[in-house]
């Protein structure tokens, strides 16, 4: 159950971000460029690392205490979600 939920969350986030980047390519990359070019770190840039960190903690908890056959696959892919 834990890994089904985590897998669904990861897949939804990655497909959603990719869809937005493909459909609104110019706006997406222009906004990303402005965020990274600014002198101060916008709060929006901290959301993804916080979410990935939380998902990583949940995944490790689930890997250790609710082990499934291929649990390491979900846990291993989490750092690539940003």
- The DSSP secondary-structure symbol of 39 reads S
Tens digit of pLDDT for each residue in 2-17? Answer: 667 777 777 787 788 8
pLDDT in tens, 31-82: 878 877 777 777 777 787 788 778 778 777 877 787 767 767 766 666 555 4
Q: Where are the domains of the chain?
A: 2-81
Q: Give Cα 61 distance to the centre of its chain.
A: 17
Q: How far is CA 53 from the centre of its chain?
A: 9
- Using alpha carbons, list the distances in angstroms from residue 8 to 39, 42, 55: 35, 28, 12
pLDDT (tens digit per residue) in 16-36: 888 888 888 888 888 878 877
pLDDT computed for residue 74 by the predictor: 66
pLDDT at 47: 82
Question: How many CA atoms does the CB half-sphere of 36 hold within 13 Å?
Answer: 6
Burial class of residue 74 in the structure, from the number of CB atoms within 10 Å of its CB (0-12 exposed, 13-18 middle, 19+ buried): buried
At residue 46, the pLDDT reads: 78
């Amino acid at each position: 159950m834990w890994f089904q939920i985590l897998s669904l969350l990861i897949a939804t986030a990655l497909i959603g971000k990719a869809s937005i980047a493909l459909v609104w390519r110019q706006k997406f990359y222009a906004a990303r460029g402005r965020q990274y070019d600014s002198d101060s770190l916008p709060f929006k840039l901290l959301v993804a690392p916080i979410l990935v960190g939380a998902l990583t903690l949940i995944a490790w908890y689930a890997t250790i205490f609710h082990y499934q056959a291929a649990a390491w696959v979900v846990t291993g892919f989490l750092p690539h979600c940003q």
